[in-house]
Every structure is written in C-alpha cells, then in structure tokens.
Amino acid sequence: MFSRMFSEVQSVVPSSMGFCWGQYNPHTLSKRTSIVHLFEWRWADIALECERYLAPNGFGGVQISPPNENVIVTDPKQPWWERYQPVSYKLCTRSGNETEFRDMVTRCNNVGVYIYVDAVINHMCGANAGAGDHATCGSYFNAKTEDFPAVPYSGWDFNDGKCKSRSGDIENYHDISQVRDCRLVSLLDLALGKDYVRSKVAEYMNHLIDIGVAGFRIDAAKHMWPGDVKAILDKLKDLNTAWFPEGTKPFIYQEVIDLGGEPITGSEYFGNGRVTEFKYGAKLGTVIRKWNGEKMAYLKNWGEGWGFVPSDRALVFVDNHDNQRGHGAGGSAILTFWDARLYKMAVGFMLAHPYGFTRVMSSFHWPRYFVDGKDINDWVGPPSNSDGSIKPVTINEDTTCGNDWVCEHRWRQIKNMVIFRNVVDGEPFSNWWDNGSNQVAFGRGNKGFIIFNNDDWNMSVYLQTGLPAGTYCDVISGQKEDNKCTGKQVYVSSDGKANFQINTDAEDPFIAIHVDAKL
C-alpha cells in the first residue's frame, strides 16, 4: 500500500515544488485538502484513527500535541498546558514514548495521512517550575537556575539579559522587543539569536523529520524574531524520501495571533511559511452569531476582502485548543462544539469556501464552570485515569467517540464537508446568492453547491447551482449510500437550477451537494 501511496504523491507533487514554495505546501495527497488537530490524543490512538477513519474519509493529515518531554504540573493536576512547558527534546509525553511515536508516524504515512508536529521552541518551562525530575521522561532540570542538562541548556542560553521589562515577563504587547525577548507568562525565553540554541532546536526538529513528519506548527511564533525562526528553518533537512519526493521542504505554519491591534503582524512571518489567521474564526463566529449587526450576506467577499492574510499564506480554523477555552484570540465570539448547531454551520462554510488551508478541531469535554463570565475549569487536561495516564479514544456503535472525547471530525456533517472540499478542490467560487440577510448560497464551479438559512424564518428558493442535471444527496442531513440518499434529496434540472427548502427548526439549517453524491 505504501509504495502505491508514494507513487501517487510523486504524480501530484512535482519535486521542484520543494525548492520553490515547499514550506507553504502541506504536501497532502491530491484531493486531500484538510488536516485535523487530534488534541491530546495518544500516539496509539492516532495511528488507529489514521487507518480506520482519516484515510478512508479523505483527511490529509493530523496536527498532534507537542511530542517532547514536558514538566508534570501537580497544581492544578496535569492541565493541558503542561505540554507547552518543555524540559527536553526527548520524545516521551502522556501521549506515548518514542517507539509509539515512530509507529504512529509510519502507520499514518503509509495510508497517506501526514503528521504535523506542534513545535514548542520559543521557551522552556516556567521559571516557577522548581527543580527535580518531575518531567515526563524523568529528566532532571532546575528552572530556578535555568539548568536543563538533558538538552543541555544553561543560564547562557536564555534571553534574561535582553529583556527590558521590570518583571522579566512581557508587560506591554505594543513593545515589540518585550514581546520577543521577555518571558511569555514566566516561561523561560530561549536565546534564539544564539547559534548554539538554534542548532539544538534544529536538531530536535530534524530528528522528527528523520522519523517521517511532514511539517510543523510553530508555537508562539509571534514571540520570536522572524529572522531567528528563519535561521532555524534554514537548518532543517528535506522530508524523508521514504514518503516524500526528494527535495521536499517541511510544511511550516506559524502561530501568530494578529487581530489587528498590535504592532506585530502576521505578514512579518510570510517568508518562513504560512501563518494562523486568527481573525478568521473571530469574524466568522461574530457573523454566524449575528452579533454587532453582522449578516451572512456580508460574506460575499470573505477572505482577503475582510482584511485577512493572502489565501496561500493562511492556515484557517473555526476554533483551536486555546480559543475554545477563551484563551488566545476571539473571545466569546469563537464558536465551539458547545454551540454544536452554529458550529457545524461555521465549519461547513469554512470547508466549502476556497480561502486558506483548513484545519478541523477535535476536542475533549471538560466540566465548564463559570464565575463572573470566566470558565475557571479552562485548565482541565484530557480524559485521564487516576494515575494521570490519558484514556484511550473509544468508538461507539454510531461511530462517535466515548471516554469524554468529542471527536468533531467524526460528526457526519463535518466529515462529509471535508469530503466536499476534496471534491471541489481547484474549482472557482461561483453562483453567490443572498437575501440581503442571513440566507446565503454559493457554488464551487460545476462540482459543488452549499446553502444556509441562518434567518428566523423558513426558506424556499429556486437557485442556479452550476451543477449537472440529476438527483443529489444532501451530505448534511445524510449521505449517499448504496445509490440511495439517507437524508434529503435535491433535484437539479437541465438548466442547473434547484429548489431548496430549509425550515428554521431543521436540525442543521444548511444543505450541501456535490458531484460525488449524485445518484
């Protein structure tokens, strides 16, 4: 199977691409156009999910949680954010050890689902993390004296001398030097201007490339100078030729929270790779919630027309692991699985629209508890056993997940829209229609069409779809199985037009059809 996959990759990705714009290209197989963030999953479960679900349903890859050794935080008990407090670059975490990591990468690559590592390279653990061996591989460290012998890093390798704030932490986000040279919430800030530090970071990333990963999310990129990031990326190897064409550069997307109010902008990082477009989820949430007078009709020029970064530089998402908890960016406008009906509409819109490279979120439940509008349980880590080990992802008979795993990527509506995006890949944005309010529709050339009713009244319209005549299965209310529709049917007449009726009480107030769902 893997040799077939490799020849398929070679046929769709010219090897010269690695030299020209490889870092902007996720290198997913042809007609696999989205990745999923399996947040806090174990490596063993990700390997299984690649084989049994992601590959058969056309997912291109997985963003994984940081794989390197981190502090074990005991108060509160093992929060999700302990993964963002490195102690060394050894590959052992609550998700698994290096053997399990290698097995996951190999198995996922062999079915054409690639692995993107969340790379925490801006800092080590918090200055208040103490000393000892309370780390996931048992490595000794001393945060107070900045001693990390498992790397090794010492006090020489941190930015204390460069930081000009009184506390040593970032105090003013309008001071560019503070944002990049001081500690982010007391996390020990690495001196990435030093070649030794750059080399240790690159050594870690190259080890992951040797194992077979396809690229990296660069955590906290805004807190590093773009030139320092570039100097590290320039030391990286090409991707492993067991799975990727010779000369292929790793895919890079950088976490830069830029909502437009600070001096540091996403565009400063374009030379290194794509950036995470945080305005996307914040604005889309506001529109779908109908806040601030926003209407879906205004989405006609969605993308660059809304002040977003260029499409070929954007990685987009409705929510991520930070802002679904109220951290990061977007505030209460962000839609999440807690608002399932509106969330499915937002993800459906994202996956139908051509802008950006799309990432789907896959979450876990936590016991939300609000005090003065803030969720005081936003720290809670993944579903765990009493010894702190992460619980496996169990699969229910209806294909949803158990053990408190949410698995939005397995919701029929989202999975089917991932497939929709694959079917319409490369087709133009076309046949826009709106009612001036919150009923909108658009096509993707002659391959797909989607329509939403987010108004408070029923819809019945006759629209040009751009699709060939025939009977189509709506992939939101159901799908095509055994040449029958399990949900609604849509009849497209010889002139390409179809009637759409969506009542306000519909489980999901949108309909999507594409040529692969035609009877």
Which amino acids are annotated catalytic?
219, 255
- Nearest alpha carbon to residue 513 among 504, 503, 496: 496
**DSSP state at residue 110:** H
Give me the torsion for CA of 214, 336, 186, 41, rounded to 10°: -50
Q: Yes or no: say if 279 and 258 are a contact pair by the CB < 8 Å rule.
A: yes
Q: Yes or no: say if 249 and 274 are a contact pair by the CB < 8 Å rule.
A: no
Residue 406 Cα distances to 134, 284, 482, angstroms: 30, 22, 29
> How do 429-434 and 141-142 pair as beta strands?
unpaired
Residue in the block written with tokens 């591989």:
137
d(C-alpha 316, C-alpha 279), whole Å: 9
- Helix ranges (H only) for 23-78 are 43-49
Q: Which two tokens stand for residue 59?
A: 């997912």
Residue in the block written with tokens 């779809």:
465
**DSSP state at residue 32:** -
Identity of residue 503: N
Q: Which two tokens stand for residue 28?
A: 């997913």
Give me the phi and psi of 305, to 5 degrees please: -60, -15
**Which residues are registered as beta bridge partners of 308?**
none
Give me the phi and psi of 357, to 5 degrees please: -100, 130
d(C-alpha 253, C-alpha 484), whole Å: 40
**DSSP state at residue 52:** I
Distance of CA 242 to the CA centre of its chain: 25
Give me the phi and psi of 459, to 5 degrees please: -120, 140
Helix axes 98-110, 195-211, angle to 10 degrees: 60
d(C-alpha 216, C-alpha 250), whole Å: 7
Identity of residue 266: G
